[in-house]
Chains A and B, each alone.
Chain A
């Protein structure tokens, strides 16, 4: 069974057996979303912005976790004190594997609303246990994700340099994951609209709107029946 823990914004932890993968422990308005003492085995930031990297270096150091990101992100975390021997640069479409987990990054991008232009953001295709999870991070592009077979797809909906609701919904319609989870909303209406539209037009995808500290448990019962429960 895979546990998906939501911290708020774009921060999630995927827990399977003894392995915990922390995604985008960002800082928002100077505040960390994930506590410094969170224990993870792998920490990943999909881009080098503060709202993605946040206190990743501190968490990685405290929990002696691997930190994964693109070159710019790894450089930034290194400057923040992460141990060099725990850093790993992700290359697009080159899988990173540990027992029970295979992470394949894809080069996407987000809009830099401060400097203008685009900055690279990695979309992650995570095979963990028997589950296949798509995590787009802070992306404004869908890349190849519409072609992937995904049990869970986690997509931004805020429209602030990332997907607006319509593109998140559109990707769910095309990719047809079993569960679609919105993140990084600008307004409380965003996840509600996402949920409403996916329910109507998703053709099999179930929208699950998570509140901070909620846990979604997903599993394959008897190997062929997909189950989920939001706690």
Chain B
């Protein structure tokens, strides 16, 4: 700050002196120093409005060095992203740095940049985890849709590391979005079978799978029947749909999604006993399949939550 003051003062007085020099030779030579002081004073007065001499400059290189020396955990997400970008810019980056950058960017909602970082990471090291993260970011970017590009990335991840749970879960989600509930259920059961019972992912995946598989599905034949009956009340329509589902399950009982849907609908109608019965039927038919216990437990948990909500 002192250096700044000295420099500024020198600049001001040299300029003012040079400008007023011709006046020293005239009759009113007193004007020269007066004008010099006035000009320098005006300059300092204008400078002082909004000046921040107390703030040091912060060139990017210096800011970058400060971030590099800091504990990454003590940095904000934005600072961590910059730290990784600085490392990459400096040329010392490996696939891990790109992968970490991709994850941080994805968490910050900067999906397009995250995709680019994951692509760089995959270019350096084709790794199952990176493929999976990349594909999940593609899903985020496409508002939850499992696109063809995401699907092929998950398939590559599953090929490189079959024990990784995410690929089969998201491939199941892709099948579900395509309307293939049986394939979705198969893949999700496969995912859950590969996870230990106490794995925190198990409950998350089971809960999501149970929720999706139990969502009511439009039956085209039933929709046509309802369209022909415009006088029906909403309750009558719901009853007809539940009846249709029950009839379908009586003919084709090997439908996990169907039983879960029936349980959910019955619970929504307040018939808890029928809901439990539907879940029991599902347990009898699918309980022996690997991964099914976790899925049915999640469905039962959701049912209990709903009952608790009703009691409240």
A-B interaction: no
Residue ranges of A at the interface with B (Cβ–Cβ < 8 Å): none
